[in-house]
Amino acid sequence: MRRLLAILALTVIGTPLSAWSNDFRERIHATVADTNTIEADTIAEIEFGREVAARILGSNRLLRNEEFTHYLGLVGNRVARNAGRPELVWHFAVLDTSAINAYTAPGGYVFVTKGALQQMDDEAELAAVLAHEVAHVTQRHIVKALNIKGADNTTTGSLARLVGSVNESTRTAFNQAVDGAVQILFEKGLNHSDEFQADQVGITLLANSGYDPMALVRYLSRIGEAKSESTRVLTMTHPAVTQRLDLLNTLITEEKLADMAGQRSRTRFVNNLDTHGFNSNNTGEQP
């Protein structure tokens, strides 16, 4: 009997992770939304994202170079308009720090550090990093983790609150959610499967926008060897680079992405960096 229990226990605990997702529990009222709900949700997401973005900019100095930021916006939007969130207006900006990282706030705010830019070799690599961040927003990783939803002002919602006599302090809950998001970005990181998903989706976005999908692999390999202090926050909040590369390479082989001829636009990229005084540290590879 005891052996039977042991075998049962091992079977139960050993069930492979992510062979299927737990989404089968979600009922249709939660999965399919109507236009009004999408709009309410998006407003809630953008409102929330702005608070998070403002905090990111509070603790990291913004690099105020209009021309370069516009260039960044062109690269970012070129990738983002191939993502499945046509309702968002995307904003891209540079943070003036030597740390190597990129941040996203829900609602379409993406920040990349000067340190990261200086590690990049060509525009495709920049697009790759932005694509990974765009993927976090596309897949709603942060809002799902914190359960950000639009306010429910329908009759049913009001009646439900009346019948249930629930008292809520929305502002407190909201503030806590914002703190939660900041914590996720700077300390805890999203869970690893979210990061792997962002890599996966990111590389698809790259391919779809005409960029060379191998760029993400090249960039990750390079920063995997970078100085440890500048990648401190990155290492804390993301899974190990080797693990990410393994999964990416599997995907690339499956999708035969290496065969695809994508743009790298090295010249344009290097020109933009030099013109705006980024002093690229990279000696550069042959395009």
Partner 1 sequence: MNRHLLTFLIALPFTVSGAETLYVQSAKARLMEQPSFSAPVLTEIVKGDTVDVEQRSDRWIRVNHGLVSGWVPSLLLSAQKPVEKVTVLGEESNVSGTARRRASAVITAGATRGLTADDRLRLDAQEVTNYGALRWVENIAVTEDQIDHFEREGKE
Partner 2 sequence: MRRIVLAGLVAASPLATADSNHYNNMLIGDRASGMAGAYTSISDDPSGLYYNPSGIVFAGARNFSASVNAYHVSSTRYKNAIDGHEWERTSSSLLPNFFGVIQPLGKGIVGFSYAVTDSIIEDQDSHFTATSLGDFYININHRDVTNKFGPSYAYAISDKLSIGATLYAHTRNYKLIVNQLTQDTALGSYRLVNSYQEASEFGMEPVVGVMWSPADKVSLGLSVRKTTITSSSAGSQTITSSDAAATATVDSASDDSKRKLPTETRVGVAYFPSNRLLLSADIMHYGATQASGDAYLAKQAVTNLALGMEYYPTRSWAVRAGLYTNHSNTPSLDAAKTTMQEDHIDMMGITLSLTRMTRTSSITGGIGYSRGSGEWQNEATMPIKSVDADSLTAYLSSSYSY
Look up residue 2 and give its amino acid: R
Beta bridge partners of 95: 62, 113
Cβ contact 50:105 at 8 Å: yes
Which of 1, 5, 34, 225 binds partner 2 (CB under 8 A)? It is 34
* 32 is a contact residue toward partner 1 (CB under 8 A): yes
Residue 212 has which token pair?
């060379």
Residues 6+ away with beta carbon under 8 Å from 200: 135, 247, 248, 251
Q: Which x/- pattern over 159-198 shows residues binding partner 2 (rule: CB under 8 A)?
A: xxx-xxxx-x-x--x-------------------------
Cβ contact 69:96 at 8 Å: no
Angstrom distance (rounded) from CA 62 to CA 96: 6
Residue 176 Cβ, how far from partner 1 at the closest point, in Å?
12
Piece in contact with partner 1 (CB under 8 A), picked from 10-18, 207-215, 238-246, 277-285: 207-215
* 146 is a contact residue toward partner 1 (CB under 8 A): no
Look up residue 126 and give its amino acid: L
* 74 is a contact residue toward partner 1 (CB under 8 A): yes
Using CB under 8 A as the binding rule, the residues of this chain from 214 to 253 that contact partner 1 are: none
By rule CB under 8 A, what count of residues binds partner 2? 37
Residue 140 Cβ, how far from partner 1 at the closest point, in Å?
13
* 20 is a contact residue toward partner 2 (CB under 8 A): yes
The smaller minimum CB distance to partner 1, of residues 5 and 261, is found at: 261
Residue 67 Cβ, how far from partner 1 at the closest point, in Å?
10
Angle at 113 between CA 138 and CA 204, to 5 degrees: 30
Helix, strand, or coil (residue 87): coil
Angstrom distance (rounded) from CA 5 to CA 127: 52
Residue 242 has which token pair?
């080797």
Cβ contact 67:278 at 8 Å: no
157 binds, among partner 1, partner 2, none (CB under 5 to 8 A by kind): partner 2
Using CB under 8 A as the binding rule, the residues of this chain from 1 to 20 that contact partner 1 are: none
Residue 91 has which token pair?
């904003």
Beta bridge partners of 111: 93, 103
Counting Cα atoms < 13 Å in the Cβ hemisphere of 16 gives 3
* 144 is a contact residue toward partner 1 (CB under 8 A): no
Piece in contact with partner 1 (CB under 8 A), picked from 10-18, 113-121, 230-238, 257-265: 257-265
Which of 147, 279, 281, 286 binds partner 2 (CB under 8 A)? It is 147
The smaller minimum CB distance to partner 2, of residues 170 and 281, is found at: 170
CB atoms within 10 A of CB 174: 16
Q: Which x/- pattern over 76-95 shows residues binding partner 1 (rule: CB under 8 A)?
A: -xx--xxxxxxxxx-x-x--
* 123 is a contact residue toward partner 1 (CB under 8 A): yes
Q: Using CB under 8 A as the criterion, which residues of the chain lie in contact with partner 2 when the complex forms?
A: 12-13, 15, 17-22, 24-34, 37, 147, 149, 152, 154, 156-157, 159-161, 163-166, 168, 170, 173
